[in-house]
Amino acid sequence: MPRPKALDLFSGAGGAGFGLYLAGFDVVGVDHKPQLRYPAFHDAPHAKHFTFHQADALTFPLEGFDFIWASPPCQAHTSMKTMHNAKEHANLIPEVRAALIRRAIPYVIENVEGAPLYGPILLCGTMFNLGCEDAELRRHRLFECSFPMLFPECRHGQRAAATVGVYGGHLRNRKRTIGIYGEGVRDSVRKVDRGVEDFNVHQGREAMDIDWMTLAELCQAIPPAYSEFIGRQAMQVIGVTA
């Protein structure tokens, strides 16, 4: 039986796309930048289940897909937008939503907390026991789904004594916090404890369960566990059972 086909708009290096593949989809990624580490280019058997197009996600044809995933740029909605030197960024969510509604197939729009999504669910790394060493991953993302979704609750503090916050993180009385953002991995406790070293890209990859991305790519990605979780529920909506 052929696998159903998912479109991965604003794909980046393929964090969401890989989760959709794990859920059972063949995946077509679209991004306006070249993504040389997208899974389509991996030297691995799963690469045959991926295709990548360098193109404008806003004008890419939406026909021929069973499910569409869209991750429009989040810069217009992050806390960084209030900085004195913040640049203006377009809010593409309304335009993307309108196009997906016209297509009338199951879709998901992913973005950061604060984004203007309709009735979104929130996923966190602690829901999937993600992390590295003694640190848990707290990376909140919102998901607007065109179909009803079941989702677990955050399990902050149940894994261990530290926190991996790939968006800056939460300290919450833990020993240390890893923040993966911009071009660096930083430990928020270094200001008070110079003996604690920064986390490195290898720990960031372990925390996100992504082994192929650079640090800059990790900063823009979601863990595949998130999209796999949603993708499996989308499979049921389109009538495919495992």
Residues 222 and 236: their CA atoms lie apart, in Å, by: 22
- How many domains in the chain? 1
Q: What is the pTM of this model?
A: 0.84
- Please tell me the predicted confidence (pLDDT) of residue 153: 81
- Which residues, other chains included, contact 170 with Cβ-Cβ below 8 Å and sequence gap of 6+? 138, 156, 163, 177
- Please tell me the predicted confidence (pLDDT) of residue 79: 52
On whether residue 86 sits in a domain, the answer given is yes
On whether residue 153 sits in a domain, the answer given is no
**What SS3 state is found at 9?**
strand
On whether residue 22 sits in a domain, the answer given is yes
Give the strand pairing for 107-111 and 50-54: unpaired
Residue numbers of the chain with a pLDDT score lower than 50: 80-86, 167-175, 177, 183-184, 186-196
**pLDDT, tens only, 24-47:** 999 999 999 999 999 999 999 999
- Which residues, other chains included, contact 195 with Cβ-Cβ below 8 Å and sequence gap of 6+? none
- Please tell me the predicted confidence (pLDDT) of residue 36: 97
**Domain range spanning residue 114?**
5-123+140-145+222-237
- Please tell me the predicted confidence (pLDDT) of residue 115: 94
CATH at residue 50: 3.40.50.150
**pLDDT, tens only, 129-145:** 998 887 888 889 999 99
Residues 95 and 100: their CA atoms lie apart, in Å, by: 9
- Please tell me the predicted confidence (pLDDT) of residue 71: 97
On whether residue 181 sits in a domain, the answer given is no
On whether residue 135 sits in a domain, the answer given is no
Contact 201, 215 (CB under 8 A): yes
Residues 222 and 135: their CA atoms lie apart, in Å, by: 17
Angstrom CA distances, 199 to 190, 206, 234, stand at 11, 11, 35
Please name which of 177, 139, 142 lies closest in space to residue 160, comparing C-alpha atoms: 177
Contact 118, 98 (CB under 8 A): no
On whether residue 93 sits in a domain, the answer given is yes
- Please tell me the predicted confidence (pLDDT) of residue 200: 81
On whether residue 165 sits in a domain, the answer given is no
Half-sphere exposure at residue 138, Cβ-oriented, CA atoms within 13 angstroms: 24
- Which residues, other chains included, contact 44 with Cβ-Cβ below 8 Å and sequence gap of 6+? none
For residue 111, the cross-strand partners are 142
On whether residue 182 sits in a domain, the answer given is no
